[in-house]
Structure 1
Amino acid sequence: MKIFGKIFALFFLVFASHQSLANDSFGYYGMEPDIITNYITTRKKPGYVRITVELMLKNADNIEVVEHHAPMLRDAIINIVGKEPEEKVKSLTGREEIRKKCAEKIKLLLKKETKDEVIHDLLFTKYLYH
């Protein structure tokens, strides 16, 4: 019964947060396919990371704009992740630093291209490294 209560509480929190954002027109764009790229290692074997990226848009109407610029955004993320050292890729704080770098770069690129702030945030919904 404890598990049911925890699940219900989690559901309620998610539902409540969606209700509070219901008046806002946020949208999400999932970059497909996942981003797979190498990162810098100190070993002879190359390391790679697989990331699923979701972009939180300030306005759901901008999905087509983001979709149009998706190849440029994907390239920017690959360039950032590919230059990171193994220690940063594998640590939780490093992962968050990488996510923030990617978010800042994506926001900057889209601002330059569209003259508008399109992206609210960038999320890593899956992050696997080897």
Structure 2
Amino acid sequence: MNKLIAVLLITLCSSFSAFAADSKPLEEYAYYGFEPEIVTNYISNRKKLGYVRLSVELMVKKPEQLVSLERHDPLLRAAIVEILGNQTEDKVKSLTGKEEIRRQCYEKVNQLLEQETGKPLVVNLLFTKYLYD
């Protein structure tokens, strides 16, 4: 009985390893971070200017695409600064507003990259630091 169980386990393990070998290899994602961090003003409800400071990471499917992101860094940075500068204080300071801003930045970055390179390269845009006052 023990030999039968051992044979079944070996067969099961070998069939699983054959299945794993046939599976598609994982994609090689790469990240591009804007340096230095982005710091800009936003529309404040108070008398003084509000500011937001954030680190932005762009995720692409292939490491070779990082060259295009680096080449277009000033254009993409300017677009993100413009989006942030047009936000209200309430939106900047709320979680749902932050997500909406992130989504706007993601869409704008891909729109600009499509114009410049012929395809949207960014898979995801992440705010890895998000500070405001």
| Same fold by TM-score greater than 0.5 | yes
Moved more, 113-122 or 66-75: 113-122
Query: CA offsets per residue over residues 24-74 of structure 1, 9 Å max, x none?
Result: 021100111000000001211100000100000121111111000000000
Q: 2:78 aligns with which of 75, 78, 92?
A: 75
SS in 1 for 2:55: strand
In structure 2, the residue matched to 1:53 is: 56
Matches within 5 A, 1:12-51: 23-51=26-54
Superposed structure 1 runs of 4+ greater than 4 Å apart: none
Gaps of 5+ in 1: 1-21
Structure 1 residue 104 displacement after superposition:
0.2
> Normalized against structure 1, the TM-score is what?
0.82
In structure 2, the residue matched to 1:95 is: 98
Q: Structure 1: how far apart are the matches of 2:73 and 2:47?
A: 33
Gaps of 5+ in 2: 1-24
Amino acid at match of 2:35: E
Size of the aligned set, in residue pairs, is 109
Structure 1 residue 117 displacement after superposition:
2.4
- Across the aligned residues of Structure 1 and Structure 2, the Cα RMSD in angstroms comes to 0.9
Q: 2:110 aligns with which of 101, 107, 127?
A: 107
Higher-Rg member (1/2): 2
Q: Structure 2: how far apart are the matches of 1:97 and 1:117?
A: 19
